[in-house]
Structure 1
Amino acid sequence: MPAINNLDKLFRKRIQYSNPDPVTFQDLDIILEKMANHIPFENVCIMEGRSRILTKDHLLNKMLIMNEGGLCYDLNSLLYLFLIENQYDASLIQGVVYDHAAGKFGNIGRTHVAVLVRHEGQLYILDGGFGGNVPLKPVPLSGETVSSSNGEFRIREGKTHHGEYRLEMKLKYKDRDWRIGYAFDIDETIRDVSCLDNVRLTVEKHPDSPFNKHPLLTMRTEDGSVTLTDTSFTQWKSGNVEKKEIDHEKYKELLEYWFSQPFKKDPE
């Protein structure tokens, strides 16, 4: 198990960020993009019954030594720890994801985790754990729209039953109109990742959780993204999408190729 003071070096190595200098606020765009390209959003450990109590050491071992990915509470907790190592004023917040298929906020509670950062008197959300919806940039709570290779993102203020703020998005090639990502509050923040273990347990056990029924893995690529389930493989490439139905053998092959080793070229 690595010592906690190795986190900065191990994180930079995992996301292939070779710059050894202290991380400036302007560097966070690069950090978030590289994180999305190298650490997949995935639930494999849940599906294989390997989930463990959420601690700093577990996160380091899982994602920086074993080179696995994780869900929002894994990915954003790791990002939070990296930011703390780099002297950022950061904390963790919980939110409620909007279920677009059902047309309402999800009913499993505040199970989305993101990072809140204060920089030069302004607050931002950093999210490296929202699957294919990651902003890839800090999103200010001021309401300003930010644009990245994944689309446009903004935070709107307005009190609801689910939070005083909501992150909205317009994904590149996918959305014509703004849609809600999740709602959240900032009055209750978390600075100890182990306090999020209740989120992990809910995601693993709740009957309505989308992450405890089938494997799901997704990761950004140089020109789009790939998403793998046990029945399909979807690849977005320069705005074009190709989805293939797959069997279990093909699932294992694609899992090994795309998610079990450093990113490679497209398979033949």
Structure 2
Amino acid sequence: MHDLDPALLRVYLRRLGFAAPPPPTLHTLHLLQLRHSAAFAFETLSTLLHLPVPIDLPSVAHKLLVEGRGGYCYELNGLFLALLRRLGFEAQPLTGRVLMGATPGVPPARTHLMARVRLEGRDWLSDVGFGGMVPTAPLALHEAGPQPTPHEPYRLDREGDAFTLRAWVNEAWKALYVFDLAAPAPIDLEVGNWYVSTHADSPFLGRLVAARTGAFCRHTLRGGSYAVHRLGQASMRVELRDADAVIGLLREVFGLRLPAHSQLRQAIAQQWRRPAEDEAAPAQAVAAT
């Protein structure tokens, strides 16, 4: 198993506002999760360009910490899990089935990665990779009722061995994903990532989506449609005029250093010509649209 390179660990911690490794406490976990979703954007530039998405730790660390990119759940939560373990947290991966946008009565595949963290005998769900609806605080797994975060309230409903994560959005509890506490094998993550990054039915293949949190707000991008969702206020939406406007937004708002790919501008421009079926937004990427 690879460990985080010490030099990259220092870069990672600085991005999250720490001059030295913090102690593995619940307070630290709260800070890490809140800062991570603001510092590292959820983005699908690789799948937009039909590029491979390796999820081994050295590749992900290089992409996010050296290349200045973001990623999706297998990358963001994969790197976050490595950080948690490096800091001394007892953390393991979990996988979930995304319910937003899924066909009712048809169980979707396990295509979402998150973390289970045990602290002082209690289990917490920690997730920095659910795009526009990423929870910005750890959630107590066995606590009934709403749980506050710096953004929306969330709750975890349990039925047997299954937990359903819900968020309070537009005056209703919206189901986000369902999961159990079985730890996946590494091959399960490889298969899930292969589906998300290559399968024709993947909600990310050939599509541009991005998300990043701010203070009391969320930024989301789908194709050429940019939105800012502020707590307690109406969302602001802007339809961007062209690929250059999107590229500027990705750099300035989402904080990305874009890949030097000859087809990037063309791939972004094609987002305006996607069919109406894209109105079923990818759950991990867009919130409250």
Smaller-chain TM-score bracket: 0.7 to 0.9
Asked whether 1:75 is paired with 2:76, we answer yes
1:95-134 matches, cutoff 5 A: 95-100=96-101, 102-103=103-104, 107=108, 109-134=109-134
1:67-216 matches, cutoff 5 A: 67-100=68-101, 102-103=103-104, 107=108, 109-144=109-144, 145-159=146-160, 164-170=162-168, 174-190=169-185, 196-216=189-209
Q: Distance in 2 between matches of 1:142 and 1:10?
A: 34
Cα displacement (A) at 1:20: 4.2
- Unaligned segments of structure 1, at least 5 residues: 263-268
User: In the TM superposition, what whole-angstrom CA distance separates every residue of 1:206-251 from its partner, at most 9, and x where no partner exists?
Assistant: 2322111311011011231211233211122453321111222211
3-state DSSP of counterpart to 2:98: strand
Q: Is the 8 A contact 1:134 1:150 kept in 2?
A: no
Higher strand proportion: 1
Q: Distance in 2 between matches of 1:100 and 1:52?
A: 23
Q: Is the 8 A contact 1:141 1:156 kept in 2?
A: no
Residue of structure 2 equivalent to 1:243: 237
3-state DSSP of counterpart to 2:117: strand
Alignment RMSD (CA, Å): 2.3
Matched residues, percent identical?
23
Q: Tell me how many residue pairs correspond in the alignment.
A: 252
Q: Is the 8 A contact 2:152 2:167 kept in 1?
A: yes
Indicate how the Cα distance of structure 1 residues 16 and 49 shifts in structure 2: closer, same or farther if over 3 A, else same.
farther
Indicate how the Cα distance of structure 1 residues 261 and 201 shifts in structure 2: closer, same or farther if over 3 A, else same.
closer
Q: State the TM-score, normalized to the length of structure 2.
A: 0.79
| 132-141 vs 76-85, greater mean Cα deviation | 132-141
1:220-235 matches, cutoff 5 A: 220-235=213-228
Asked whether 1:46 is paired with 2:47, we answer yes
3-state DSSP of counterpart to 1:240: coil
- Structure 1 runs of 4+ aligned residues shifted over 6 Å read none
Cα displacement (A) at 1:101: 6.9
- Unaligned segments of structure 2, at least 5 residues: 258-289
Which structure would you say has the larger RCO, counting Cα contacts within 8 Å and 6 or more residues apart? 2
Q: Distance in 2 between matches of 1:255 and 1:79?
A: 22
Cα displacement (A) at 1:82: 0.3
